[in-house]
A and B are shown apart, each in its own frame.
Chain A
Amino acid sequence: MWAQILEQLINGLVLGGIYALIAVGYTMVYGIIQLINFAHGEIYMFGAYIALMLITVGTPFWIALPLSMLLCAILGMFIDFIAYKPLRNAPRLSALITAIGISLALQNLARMIWSARPRQFPSEVLPSFFLSEVTDTGKVINAVPLPGGGILPFRDVFIFLLAVVLMIVLNMLIYLTKIGKAMRACAQNQVASNLMGIKTNQVIAATFAIGSALGAVAGIMVGLSEVVTPTMGYYKGVAAFAAAVLGGIGSISGAIIGGIVIGIAEVFGADIHSGYRIAFAYIIMILVILIRPSGIFGKATSKRA
């Protein structure tokens, strides 16, 4: 019983780490331009597919990962440049509808290029420690044995550690570097920071780049533990958005905590009723919006019109 709970808790933490990585992308963009970037889930999906393609043609995993991050960062900036930048002064609803349009277009583009068939990372080209198994003799390979007979694959340990490292790097970037300072300034008051000589459009582009790169990592992580499909961005994207809302949209530490809470809730929720796996994230999200719209860490603002 307790062993099972421990195992699920660990699964939830791993999933939560992935959610946190995606949620950071939502929350950073929302913090700066107050836009729910619906296309973020699709960028994350593209990250998984790009890495998958690179690995299939023979690129080593350790090169495919940063390359996919880079390409997704470029994709994120490109989307901002062609679609969101012209709408900076347009009504908020226009930008939101554009975001839905991009999400729709990218998802179906992926369906055209890669077909709707679920794909998996080819295990033979992945680093060997990702392949964990229990042999017939009861020997555990590439995994940490858990009490109660379960195992914790090194792959999951790697996913969680990578998520933690990236979060630390992100926090250092935001609080210790010049661009991070500019981002925080833009989130507080865009007009004022523009007047102070901050090139707002560049800062926004950088925000999209960072968020998209982190999203790409999350996509690869999901690809490693589950499958890659064109609709993966939609399901995980909404759950990650729920995490961002839970933590208080606009707050990065909130997104991390929110991600972990949603991840654990989803894993335990799936135990209760597997048909509602994702729905638990939605319920939490709706309750948070209704009861405490500013989230756990969000500043209490008057009205988000």
Chain B
Amino acid sequence: MRDKLTPRNIILCLCVCSLPLLIYGIDGIEKFLSSYRIGFGWPGGDYVIRILVRACLYMLLAVGLNIVCGFTGLLDLGYVAFYLIGGYTAGILMQRLGVPYWFALPIAMAHGTIWGLLRGIPTLRLTGDYFAIVTFGFAELFFRIIRNEQWLTGIPNGQLRGIPAPSIFGITFDQNWHNYYHILILLILVVFLNYRLQNSRVGRAWVAIREDEQAAESMGINVGRYKSLAFAVSAAIGAIGGAFIAQFQVNISAPFFEFWESILILCMVVLGGMGSIRGAMLGAAILGSLGEILREVLTRFTDFPELAGSRYLIFGIILILLMRFRPGGLIYKKT
């Protein structure tokens, strides 16, 4: 990791850690001012923190997808499958079997990893379009299974309600700011792991596979093994995201994990620049919060609040323009 403990980075770190304090501070100011009838239309601290949590969650997912899409250069259109597996594994374990979150999370991770590896068996030799299509098909199948197989999940229609919040020593982590620190810690761990992987033998092997699979193989890289490793790590990260959203949302249902969610995460990775961890995080921070910000701005300042519902239109246009004018993404990494 090139980043050092410079003063700038320490200040940045402190800012990120104290964000909830700041946001609830504004809450207090708003409350004080509105008692004099001069409120400035602050949408409320809990709401803002929820947006932050979502943005962080998407950062985590984008970093996970970036391993397959960015490092090994395979277009994964079914990443949402692992998100779904993580979510339902953790959700069902916690809600129906009463397993504590701290056990459900690693089990969900392991479950996601297994499916990442299983999906890897048939797709290892596929490249390009066909890999994209098969991953898409797998995700759709998982989506249908969750919707239809009640004997397997024990829940009708994939609607899981009342997932308990994690607790430790009698303290329940159900506040929004709890969730913020929760996802922040997960994100930091995942990003740290990613940087370590990127700068290791493994990361270099992945990039070599992306650049030229045959050349990589002839240089002695076991392509199959490194690709499987990429699938497994990526799937595990997706499952962490799923386990988190299960306890964060309390109720989850199948539409959370639709195909367009995959595309949204892909947009984030592409926007930031495929293969760049920072890029994926930047893209996720922008797109993950853009929808809510747009809704807030549009309902407040224009007469067309329904425009916010079609934010995917804007995402689509972003994808087209990026590929046309800046295919390397916002953070362009010269190689």
Contact = CB atoms under 8 A, between A and B. Distances in A.
B21 interface: no
B129 A36 contact: yes
Interface string A79-114: 000010011001111111110111111111101100
A87 B323 contact: yes
Nearest to A230: B310
B115 interface: no
A286 interface: yes
Interface residues of B, number: 41
A261 to B, nearest CB: 17
A117 B141 CA distance: 26
Contact of A241 (B127, B133, B327): B133
A242 to B, nearest CB: 8
Interface residues of A, number: 45
B128 A286 contact: no
Interface string B151-168: 000000000000000000
B207 to A, nearest CB: 15
A139 interface: no
Contact of B263 (A83, A104, A279, A285): A104
Interface in B102-123: 122
Interface in B54-105: 73, 75, 77
Contact of B324 (A86, A92, A109, A234): A86
B294 interface: no
24 contacts: A90-B323, A95-B323, A96-B128, A97-B319, A98-B320, A98-B323, A101-B319, A103-B316, A104-B260, A105-B316, A108-B313, A109-B310, A112-B307, A234-B259, A238-B140, A275-B148, A279-B141, A282-B140, A285-B137, A286-B138, A289-B126, A289-B130, A289-B133, A289-B134
Interface of B: 73, 75, 77, 122, 126-130, 132-134, 136-138, 140-141, 144, 147-148, 259-260, 263, 266, 270, 306-307, 309-313, 315-320, 323-324, 327
Interface of A: 34, 36, 83, 86-87, 90-98, 100-109, 111-112, 234, 238, 241, 245, 273, 275-276, 278-279, 282-283, 285-286, 289-290, 293, 303-305
